Chains A and B, each alone.
Chain A
Amino acid sequence: NAGVTQTPKFRVLKTGQSMTLLCAQDMNHEYMYWYRQDPGMGLRLIHYSVGEGTTAKGEVPDGYNVSRLKKQNFLLGLESAAPSQTSVYFCASIASGASYEQYFGPGTRLTVT
């Protein structure tokens, strides 16, 4: 099993550009999450999904959109990137009814200039 994978690993955007980050998991997990991690701020939840076709806002959802059309994939979109969105983005997943251990992807380092 590959676990949780993220695409791309690195990206540089100009202000106003758009992009989509892809998260894929092959563990048949129900719940998936997108976090951002900034120095001194810890991990902050952007959006999450409790199942295929469902999404919900987390702690810092503004400027981001998500979709979960397939159970194994969770996409994070930035419609108009801003320098404040420069961060490391982590995707994670959990199996329902489990110990709530989150499995994380390797992260995407995004710089917006």
Chain B
Amino acid sequence: RKEVEQDPGPFNVPEGATVAFNCTYSNSASQSFFWYRQDCRKEPKLLMSVYSSGNEDGRFTAQLNRASQYISLLIRDSKLSDSATYLCVVNGRGGSNYKLTFGKGTLLTVNP
């Protein structure tokens, strides 16, 4: 099983749609979870952390299921500006809290 595995995508959705990304991780010792966003030819930037109880930031909702080692990101009311690659990120490889493992990313294109 790959350390962090994401939906391969790409996702093409119309403006206003709801889209969900899924991610699984293999290291049960992982303690911190994130979604990063990467625009074309730019550096990754933190979108949101993922907490055990689930968390929401505006149109974005992140969920964590530790038992299934599964993370999700839901985007409601998609905007054109949401078009980007979304990276699932997990820490704790080999017990290291300060090393992050990145998924390969899922490309989202929101169409007018």
Contacts and interface: CB of A to CB of B under 8 A. Distances in A.
A90 B43 contact: yes
Contacts of A58: 99
Contact of B34 (A41, A42, A101, A104): A101
Contacts of B99: 45, 48, 58
A61 interface: no
B46 A40 contact: no
A104 B104 contact: no
Nearest to B4: A42
A42 B32 contact: no
A106 interface: yes
Contacts, number: 43
B104 A99 contact: no
B59 interface: no
Interface residues of A, number: 21
B7 to A, nearest CB: 13
Interface residues of B, number: 19
A50 B97 CA distance: 11
Contact of A101 (B42, B43, B46, B87): B46
A41 B32 contact: no
Contact of B104 (A40, A102, A105): A40
Nearest to A96: B98
A96 B103 CA distance: 23
Nearest to B8: A40
Nearest to B3: A59
A43 B101 CA distance: 8
A43 B87 contact: yes
A31 interface: yes
Interface of B: 32, 34, 41-46, 49, 87, 91, 97-100, 102-105
